[in-house]
A and B are shown apart, each in its own frame.
Chain A
Amino acid sequence: MISFYLNNELIQTAAAPGSALLDFVRYDQHLTGTKIGCREGDCGACTVLVGELAADGQTVNYQSMTSCCTPLGNAQGKHVVTVEGINQASGQLTPVQQAIVAEGGSQCGFCTVGFVMALTGHSLGQQPATPHNTRAAMDGNICRCTGYKSLERAAEALGQQLAGRPATNALAWLSKQQFVPEYFQKMPAQLAVLQAEISPLPPSSPPTLLGGGTDLLVQRLAEVRAQPVQLVFDQRSRRGIRQEAGGRVVLGAATTATHLLESELLRGLLPGWEDFLKLVSSTPIRNMGTVAGNFVNASPIGDLTIMFLALGAELTLTDAAGAARRLPLHDFYTGYKQLAKAPGEQLTEISFPAPLPGEVFHFEKVSKRQYLDIASVNSAAWLRVENGIIQEARVSAGGVGPVPLLLRRTSAFLAGREVSADTLGGANEVMQSEISPIADVRGSAEYKRLLLRQLLTAHLLQAGLEIELV
């Protein structure tokens, strides 16, 4: 039995935990404001808010999620909000709705509710309502009538209103301003009661592990829906990001891309981290997708995988009996979508050595569209440079082979060489022999080869390379 609040109503359902929240909302509850656009998290028409009781038990943190790839089971103990749950009974528009109407930000209207929910989520969130953040809240929403400029104007007007949002007790203010109905204020207490009552869903055997759903529900919804699953998204013990005494950074496997993005620790250790993470999918997908899921999905072009390969990450795999073993991430991939993982094993932890001052970590990604797109080629580099000499290097690349690649020979070539155009040329030569890109919808093989050369150049420019290009 899955128990959660849907808007102002307690839901208890025996529906499959691996089914899509979207289908439950639309076809079981007949709340049709939430639309189906693509069923792969790429359009945002099905965006809902998912509120989770904070550790303090006093507040609910709301995040936007695309309900098409949210497993219903991940709603357990939470507050799911659709547009019907924010509409004022009086018919009065909320400030978000009003701003969109006033600026003409809704044309055919099919994507509109997704934008309303994304901006409402932003209003309920902790991020300061700067124009940058308000725009960013809509980065997972596509409008094919392309009312983006009107939506930006709406967001700007909204940002001005949100400037009055107090730092504490924001919910009472938001409720008074009619951003959300009054019942939101009862939700922390209601969720606390609910959480005390519910027991975790029984584990399946053998476990089919389901994280944020952003890959599995896109690729195999019918299959996942039809079988028992073990949900790992809400395993709180597997979420945190911490640094150990020895300097290693350790992440729980259920850490989401949003956790990575917002981690003060990682931002401090890795300059540019926020910009790198913004290139990974979109706000709602980052709210859902887990690091472990990204690794296990084994896409040859997974952004997080490429970053962590260069960071020298190591995985902890735990079997059903609780026995753990550690494995370098670069040994995890044995072939296209093939993993060095036994069926019963679960990826439980990821760790990597924290870069030291003076070490360069850099990530590059080129895709057709800069944001919310899959890379044509992506690449990361970790370089230890002293006095213009590369002491040690780890360069990774995606989209140029059947698995996410750690470019060992290229990295070895760089070690001990000065940062120079000659080194770049030599490294590129090695690199070109180390990769095997194929032509596909993301680019021709020759493009991917050229592009990776350019991205290697970008890495070395970060390391102080000065060259005359061309």
Chain B
Amino acid sequence: MNHLDPQRHVRGESQYLDDVPVQQGTLYAAVFESPLAHGVLHGLDVTAALAAPGVVRVLTAADIPGTNQIGGIVPDEPLLAEGHVHFRGQPVALILARSEAQALAARALITADITPLPIITDPRQAAALGELIVPPRTFKLGDSAAAFATCAHVFEGVAESGGQEHLYIETQGAYAFPTEMGGVRMISSTQGPTAVQRHTAVVLGLGMHQVEVDVTRLGGGFGGKEDQATPWGALAALGAFVTRKPVKLVLDRHADMRMTGKRHPYSSDFKIGLDADLKIVAYEATFYQNAGAAADLSPAVMERTLFHATNAYFIPNVTATAFSCRTNLPPNTAFRGFGGPQGMFVIEAAIAKAAEELGVPAADIQRRNLLREGDQFSYRQRTEGCHAEQAWDTAATLYDLAGLRAEVDAFNKANKLKKKGLAVMPICFGISFTKTPMNQTRALVHIYSDGSVGISTGAVEMGQGVNTKIAQVAARTLGISINRIKIETTNTTRVANTSPSAASATADLNGKATEMACAALRERLLRHASTAYTLNYEGLEIRDEQVLAAGIPADTNWEKLVSSAFWQRVALTENAHYATPGLHFDPVVNQGQPFAYHVYGTALTTVTVDCLRGTYTVDALRIAHDFGQSFNEVIDRGQIEGGAVQGIGWMTLEEVAYSAEGRLLSNSLNSYKIPDLYAAPAVLDVHFLDTPGHPNAVLRSKAVGEPPLMYGIGAYFALRDAVRAFRPGTALPFVAPMTPERVLLGLYPEFVMASKILAD
């Protein structure tokens, strides 16, 4: 069973936002953005822009009929700047013109009168000044302060991880149309249609029912279109509402990079205590999250950092505190892993620090402290169906960890200019939105009178294959061919009040709702069959489109049964509501049962560093992963391979850089590099662990979206291992990404010292 969409993708027939045929009279929008990262906005001069050819309107905050506010968790983000500007790239005005080129030309004619204010780009500086998005949070288990006193070994350090551009190849955009009812209908490239709808309604001063959002598919999202598709949808809608003309707004790549937030950079302090047997007794971490200029999803991202602060390890005494720090950068946002990777990087750094200081392999400490069945996390949930040790041991055996280590050591002995490195990266990732109410959705299933089936859910297809999975669930539940099933666009008028497609939970939530709807329809059809064909209801089923009574083919099939049911006025539509059972979490005490289940796995990473040039290759990534009962191995393998390579990118090449003035330096694809074909590991093995899955996972097939990203963290530690093989004992800071620059400076620290002395 292949992913359904690719048949159209390879022929270029899949429709993305910019491919929608343009309606006559459409106006094109361009966004004038703040040229400064912080300041008092006194006003704009739009005279020249208004006089420019083709320009119809220039809209500012004053033109917003409703409330100028799009903040989701915290109402701290205007759609268009008013009074102040808080980051470079903040939308200030919207130019509407008859062509895109005219809109862009006019944009260059606008000037803003801004009095500069001090600029903060560093999260620790922001924290010191009390610039916090929300109050700090602390997750606590046991008593770490007291426990350190009992430890044989205690180590402290600092770890820093960088941002990451989403770099969905399809940039952000929306296309809005005025409706006859005085509202707006729009096509949006968003992971969160309801978020776009809700905020647009607020901005326009309308009820949500007056704003319809439709999504066909995205050319990549990765979290970048969870919250941050909203401004572009709301702006296009504002244009359409004010002018009563269709308005199309598609960001070009540079604008997208300048104006949108990225994965949050973190700077963190850690302290780890071990006993004489290398058992981790206590762990403390303080995370300084660089949130950017507005809350966006930062508080939730910060929370997940705390959930995953101990990764796949059981630590009895934990104190983890996080600060969400307000800086003058674009608001950072969701990105695959959602704060989890940042938390895991720090505990892995702490373990590496302990291992390096003690002169023991990090893997010894890691293996000895893996989670076991019934172990408690700092948030008090206990593991249930824990596969941490199974994943590690399977990977270690299957891929011969001891042999790999010996190979690396032998290579390093034999080679001077090249060194290999090896790291093991176990993962444990919780599945569910940690804001419990978000774990709900609905599926609307129509069986048409000819036996074809249309399904609407809250899921947005963005390459993760969720439409295919939903179709598979429906086909299985109804007992029919998948070819009869069409997954409709995601539309707020068909399925309302949805959560975004995020948190790896989309297939679970929407698949479960689809299963419920289809099961209800199946039951109704079989009840009808038992009456219409005088069959015993017990033992009736539909298999391969044939109705079977106690396993024997009855005198009807799917098409006939559906037709017969229709003429007997049986309802052929079902709307099912699914809410993940058993979830609760109290964010005041930070305790509860936030996750439906956890996903486990272990990856072995080997790298080779060219010690002359500081360049490197990630040679092999070998993974044992807990899929549960995968029902689409092609899609699931694609998610693991893709997520892992994205994680490697985050840890190696991908370096988001801002100037001290808050200007994005890595502002194009020529200065921000993501993995290409050759940067992906030559060997990428994925082993499907034999695990039972979880009843909360759709058809017991566990969520696969985010967890694999964190396998990429192994690349950082493998590179570190290789650098230390060349330069034993070198004092490498725990700073990611490990770019060729950081590698070379780590290999030749004396050159750096010398040039510093010369400079002084």
Q: Which residues of A contact B (CB under 8 A)?
A: 26, 30-40, 42-43, 45, 82-84, 87, 93, 96-97, 100-113, 116, 135, 138-139, 141-152, 222, 364, 366-374, 376, 440-444, 446-447, 449-451, 453-455, 457-458, 461, 468-470
Contact = CB atoms under 8 A, between A and B. Distances in A.
Given A33-B13, A43-B169, A107 B677 contact: no
Contacts of A440: 665
Nearest to A96: B10
B10 A110 contact: no
Interface residues of B, number: 86
Interface string B136-153: 000000000000000000
Contact of A38 (B638, B668, B727, B745): B668
A106 B5 contact: yes
B615 A87 contact: no
Contacts of A142: 169, 669, 674, 676
Interface stretch (B434-442, B461-469, B487-495): B461-469
B531 interface: no
B674 A144 contact: yes
A109 B5 contact: yes
Nearest to B617: A370
B567 interface: no
Contacts of A148: 641, 645, 675-677, 680
A145 B674 CA distance: 11
A368 B18 contact: no
Interface in B74-96: none
B631 interface: no
A40 B104 contact: no
B65 to A, nearest CB: 32
Q: Which residue, of B10, B634, B744, B748, has the highest number of chain A Cβ atoms within 10 A?
A: B10
B42 interface: no
Given A151-B677, A461-B612, 8 more contacts: A40-B253, A42-B670, A43-B169, A100-B10, A142-B669, A371-B678, A441-B671, A454-B744
Interface stretch (B52-60, B212-220, B302-310, B449-457): B212-220
Contacts of B277: none
Nearest to A107: B463
Contacts of B217: 108-109
A84 B11 CA distance: 7
A144 B167 contact: yes
Interface string B708-737: 000000000000000000110000000000
25 contacts: A30-B21, A37-B170, A38-B668, A82-B12, A93-B7, A93-B10, A100-B6, A101-B7, A104-B634, A106-B5, A106-B6, A106-B9, A112-B10, A135-B677, A142-B669, A144-B166, A144-B169, A144-B222, A146-B645, A147-B638, A442-B671, A449-B751, A450-B755, A461-B612, A468-B416
Contacts of A116: 10, 12
Given A83-B11, A222-B105, A149 B613 contact: no
B218 A87 contact: no
Contact of B673 (A364, A373, A450, A468): A373
A198 to B, nearest CB: 28
Interface in B1-49: 2-3, 5-16, 18-19, 21
A451 B677 contact: no
Contacts of B205: none
B220 A39 contact: no
Contacts of A100: 6, 10
A82 B13 CA distance: 12
Contacts of B666: 441
Contact of A149 (B641, B671, B678): B641
B657 interface: yes
B12 A33 contact: yes
Interface string B603-629: 000000001111101000000000000
Contact of B12 (A83, A441, A450): A83
A376 B19 contact: no
A97 B11 contact: yes
A368 B170 contact: no
A146 B101 CA distance: 32
Contacts of B166: 144
Q: Which residue, of A45, A135, A147, A371, has the highest number of chain B Cβ atoms within 10 A?
A: A147
B592 interface: no
Nearest to A373: B673
B155 interface: no
A469 B416 contact: yes
A447 B673 contact: no
B646 interface: yes
